[in-house]
Amino acid sequence: MREIKEISSLPVSPVFNIGQAANASGITPKMIRYYEEIGLLRPAARSASGYRRYADAEVQTLRFIKRARDLGFSLDRIRMLLGLWEDSTRQSADVKKLASQYIVELDEDIRKLQSIRDQLRHLANCCSGDSRPECPILDDLAAKLPDPKIS
């Protein structure tokens, strides 16, 4: 007589190796190992043969990290965002404050980049771009800046 084994109706969470976790999250295996090394990601469970094993929760965390990196958040800010994400007692005001601070910094970076672009555009417009050696772009780059120690 055959023995009938009862099959659990609970869903089984898939387990990913590092390559599969990388594919599922869009983060390279090298970066996954780095995130573990710096404590951004909890160390992975290991198989009997020592291979890293990731559950759905870790892959979701990797996706969170990837999206935050795509938005330009620093690793320190991602660490804070992860802490807030994992804290069920968090207040959304804390998350908004962190994002708002970053927006202010981005606005300043944009202002600086626009200024640089405008200066380069002016120099490029001043350059005739012909066969002569004279070039206002190179002249400007080589110009001696005033000594900040002299008032």
Nearest to 45 by CA among 54, 37, 36: 54
Number of structural domains the chain divides into: 2
Q: Are residues 67 and 117 in the same domain?
A: no
pLDDT band of 74, cuts 50, 70, 90: very high
Whole-model pTM? 0.76
Judge whether 27 lies within some domain.
yes
Q: Are residues 50 and 98 in the same domain?
A: no
pLDDT band of 12, cuts 50, 70, 90: low
Judge whether 103 lies within some domain.
yes
Q: Are residues 67 and 97 in the same domain?
A: no
Judge whether 85 lies within some domain.
no
> 59 and 21 in contact (C-beta within 8 Å)?
yes
Q: What pLDDT is stored for residue 102 in this prediction?
A: 97
Note down the domain range covering 56: 13-74
Q: What is the CATH number of the domain that holds 20?
A: 1.10.1660.10
**Rounded-to-10 torsion of CA 61, 64, 66, 68:** -140
Q: Are residues 45 and 18 in the same domain?
A: yes
Judge whether 84 lies within some domain.
no
- DSSP-assigned states of every residue in 81-121: HHHHHH-TT--HHHHHHHHHHHHHHHHHHHHHHHHHHHHHH
Residues 132-149: tens digit of each pLDDT? 898 999 999 998 777 777
Judge whether 60 lies within some domain.
yes
16: phi then psi, degrees, rounded to nearest 5:
-115, 140
> 117 and 109 in contact (C-beta within 8 Å)?
no
Judge whether 3 lies within some domain.
no
Judge whether 67 lies within some domain.
yes
Structure tokens at 80: 């804070």
